[in-house]
Amino acid sequence: MAVVGHAADAAGVGSRLEVRPPGAGGATLEGRLDRDGVLLLGENAGMGGINSYLVNLADGLRQRGIPVTVAVVWPKEDEWLAGRCRELDIPLTVLARHRTSEQLPLAAWRLAHQLPRVRPAVLHTQAHFSGLVGRAAVRLSGRNACLVSTLHDIIVGDARLGMKFVYWLDWATYGCNRATAAVSEHLAGAIRKRGVRVRQLEVVRNGIPLRPDSSASGVRSSETAAGLPVIGFVGRLSSEKNCAALIQAAARLVRQRGRIFRLLILGDGPERAALEGLARTLGVWSVTTFEGSRSNVDAYYEQMDLVAVPSLREGLPLVVLEAMRLRLPVVASRTGGIPEVVSDEETGLLVQPGDVVALADAIARCLDDPALRGRLGEAGRRRVGEVFSLDGMVERTIAMYRRALTAATVR
């Protein structure tokens, strides 16, 4: 499966997918996976955990000889995904022009128009909007495509009526999937609890590439080299990530414990201005650096002494795996799939979501005890290698594809 507009042309919205010659008739869909490959459909072209997952999966499929292309519903200013796809020579198509719900039908129509020509064996969607677009496109095109969706998180608490309808419609159409993957046992349980009708529900945990002898101790920032520890945060600056709790905990460490440190925040999002204002109000602006979104995240991890993940809800965040891969101790909320990665007192420290006092105390404990940091970091690295490797994730995903395809036949 190929695309005319490769990642270098990703700004060309709706670039047409290349027409494939018809294959041999009568083949089972399972037999088409190696021949026709996978279309991975994401939501936007920007930087984020889901797109990191998408790129890792695409590269893993490509390395195993399975044709793969990537499409996204909406563009995004930073075009991070386009750059990564370009580096890997993986085709990328953007379906809509603007990030608005009104563009969803247009994206579905464009994808439906292209599916009969491209004929991927599997259409694998990520998250709510791409799932709706993918299912609508298959219905509009009349193709018997094998639909697979991965659930990375469950959106709750959005008061907008239109968004409530989108999320309801997403859940209502999950039965169209031949398989649904959840990135954690927690999310799989949430699907069952909600009574969502699915044909094949599997847990396929996130995985990341392991590098030989990865260690955050190799390169240190000038602040750390001078004796100032660095507390790190990596993620979208949105309400569910709860970076505000980390800033409040930092202020508590300064006021009540007299601690001196640097707070390094990587990421961008709708809460950034409010978080910057909070840092000023609480008196920690001078020790806080907002770096925005950065593609070379590992270079910033190398500057950190620990990583805080104070989220209110999560699926299975890649930031935890990335930090543990580099032997960085993690202080995280006991929410979502995080406890499936972080064992309290063994591979990290867990606190209740929103408990600023407990968060500050756990951070202080790590900063005060180099031996604890080293023990947690080594155990975390081992845990990622044993359970959350990229190779394992890719192989489990391919196995899921094949199981979903086995019983289906080409129309």
What residues form DSSP beta bridges with 264?
A: 232, 289
How do 146-151 and 179-182 pair as beta strands?
Answer: parallel
* Cβ–Cβ < 8 Å for 223, 405: no
Neighbours of 370 (CB within 10 A): 11
Per residue in 75-130, pLDDT tens?
876 688 999 999 999 999 999 988 777 888 999 999 999 999 889 999 999 988 89
pTM (two decimals): 0.87
The Cα 199–Cα 7 span in angstroms is 34
What percentage of the chain has pLDDT greater than the value 90?
66
The pLDDT of residue 410 is: 44
Domains parsed from the chain with CATH numbers:
7-206+390-406 (3.40.50.2000), 222-387 (3.40.50.2000)
Q: Which of the two residues, 101 and 314, has the higher pLDDT score? A: 314
* pLDDT value at 140 more than 80: yes
Which strand ranges, in their side-by-side order, compose the sheet holding 68-74?
92-94, 68-74, 38-44, 122-126, 146-151, 179-182, 201-203
* pLDDT value at 46 more than 70: yes
* pLDDT value at 336 more than 50: yes
- Lowest-pLDDT range of 127-136, 201-210, 225-234, 313-322: 225-234
| Highest-pLDDT range among 161-170, 251-260, 317-326 | 317-326
What percentage of the chain has pLDDT greater than the value 70?
85
In SS3 terms, 342-373 reads as CCECCCEEEECCCCHHHHHHHHHHHHHCHHHH
Most distant CA pair in the chain: distance in Å? 73
Instruction: Compute the radius of gyration of the chain from its Cα atoms.
Output: 22
* pLDDT value at 9 more than 60: no
What is the average pLDDT value for the chain, to the nearest integer? 87
- Lowest-pLDDT range of 20-34, 38-52, 170-184: 20-34
The pLDDT of residue 100 is: 79
